[in-house]
Amino acid sequence: MSVEDWYRVDRLPHIFCAGCGNGTIINCTLEAVESLGWKIDETIFVSGIGCSSRAPGYISTDSLHTTHGRALPFATGVKMAKPNFNVVVFTGDGDLSAIGGNHFIHACRRNIDITVICMNNQIYGMTGGQGSPCTPKGALSTTTPYGMDENPFDLCELATAAGANYVARWTSYHVKELNQAITFGLQKPGLSFIEVLVQCPTNYGRRNKLRDVQSMISAMKDHALLKEKRDRLLAEGKPIPDGMFVVGTLTDRNRPALGVKQ
């Protein structure tokens, strides 16, 4: 077995735009399942609707590409009916936190034993760049032409508050750390939530002065604040610099979980 076996090669080329970060996340995930020795026929990838949700179509396992926002309840059905399957959900910020917000908090509350990987590009990419619940304040999108005036969700705080056992945030720049987080999350009983900030040069960067891929990735790298460093700043009573977001393992606990493999 090699990581290539996890790809549905007859589905290539993929539909992602040039410079999209989603492929990086798929690769990190498939390297993780391969390194754990997971079996293709015991693993199910589930997704909703959006760019991120096309991922299972390129993976060689049995896969369920469902309706908008509903990946988690579909995955819950798979996992509860057959707990011996490894179930991994790919989702996006709009899919997970807008139309699927209720399912997200309840999946975390149940702490069901699945791994949820959210490709957060802070925009509705597939439908042409509308604002999402994760679009930063002030950012331009086709539905926020004068700048986003709502507050964004912090998906990791949401997952933690709702009860997920493992919560981490990285970006498509941090491939090594991301691969480690996914590897850890896949093995962790209970719900593992991994948020990955990904660049969408086509529909986010283009409208927000981050026109090329390199500048988007640099912006993510420059604004990522390690959790350890954030904790140190807080302990020293120093302010968190503006525009920074926290990356790292944000929650790691062992609450009772649902649907754990026997």
Partner 1 sequence: MQGNDACAEGAIAAGCRFFAGYPITPSSEVAEQMARKLPKVGGTFIQMEDEIASMAAIIGGAWTGVRSMTATSGPGFSLMMENIGYAAFTETPCVIINIQRGGPSTGQPTMAAQGDMLQARFGSHGDYSVIALAPSTVQELFDLTVKGFNLADRFRVPAFLMSDEIIGHLRERVEFPDEVECIPPKPIREGMLPFEPEDDLVPGFTPFGKGHRVHVTGLTHNEKGYPASTDPDLHEKLVMRLVEKVERARHEIADYDIVNPDAEIVFISYGAPTRAVRQAFLDAPEKSYGHLNLRIVWPFPEDLLKKFKNARVFLVPEMNLGQIAREIQRHVDQPVIPIPRLGGELHIPAYLLKCAEEQE
Question: Could you say whether residue 63 binds partner 1 (CB under 8 A)?
Answer: yes
Among 82, 137, 255, 261, the residue binding partner 1 under the rule CB under 8 A is 82
Closest distance of CB 83 from partner 1, Å: 9
Among 50, 56, 133, 152, the residue binding partner 1 under the rule CB under 8 A is 56
Closest distance of CB 18 from partner 1, Å: 20
Binding residues for partner 1, total number by CB under 8 A:
33
| Residue closer to partner 1, measured from CB, 139 or 155 | 155
Are 59 and 23 within 8 A, CB to CB? no
Question: Could you say whether residue 222 binds partner 1 (CB under 8 A)?
Answer: no
| Residue closer to partner 1, measured from CB, 41 or 150 | 41
| Residue closer to partner 1, measured from CB, 44 or 158 | 44
Select the span of 36-44, 122-130, 162-170, 239-247 touching partner 1 (CB under 8 A): 36-44
Question: Could you say whether residue 76 binds partner 1 (CB under 8 A)?
Answer: yes
Q: How many CB atoms lie within 10 A of CB 146?
A: 7
Torsion, CA 242, CA 245, CA 246, CA 250, rounded to 10:
130
Question: Could you say whether residue 207 binds partner 1 (CB under 8 A)?
Answer: no
Q: How far is CA 87 from CA 97, 144, 146, 187, 260, in A?
A: 20, 36, 40, 11, 11
Question: Could you say whether residue 85 binds partner 1 (CB under 8 A)?
Answer: yes
Residue with tokens 């331009």: 140
| Residue closer to partner 1, measured from CB, 73 or 205 | 73
Question: Could you say whether residue 42 binds partner 1 (CB under 8 A)?
Answer: yes
Closest distance of CB 194 from partner 1, Å: 21
Contact mark string toward partner 1, 90..109, x via CB under 8 A:
------------xx--x---
Question: Could you say whether residue 157 binds partner 1 (CB under 8 A)?
Answer: no
Among 21, 50, 73, 163, the residue binding partner 1 under the rule CB under 8 A is 73
Question: Could you say whether residue 161 binds partner 1 (CB under 8 A)?
Answer: no
Question: Could you say whether residue 50 binds partner 1 (CB under 8 A)?
Answer: no
DSSP assignment string, the chain: --GGGGB-GGGPSP-PPTT-SHHHHHHHHHHHHHHTT--GGGEEEEE-SSSGGGGGGGBSSEEEE-STT-HHHHHHHHHHH-TTSEEEEEEEHHIIIIITHHHHHHHHHHTBS-EEEEEE-SSBTTTTSB--TTSPTT--BTTBTT---SPPP-HHHHHHHHT-SEEEEEETT-HHHHHHHHHHHHHSSS-EEEEEE---TTTTGGGTT--SHHHHHHHHHHHEEEHHHHHHHHHTTPPPPTT-EEEEEEEE-----BS---
Residues that bind partner 1 (CB under 8 A): 8, 11, 40-42, 44, 46, 56-57, 60-67, 70, 72-82, 85, 102-103, 106
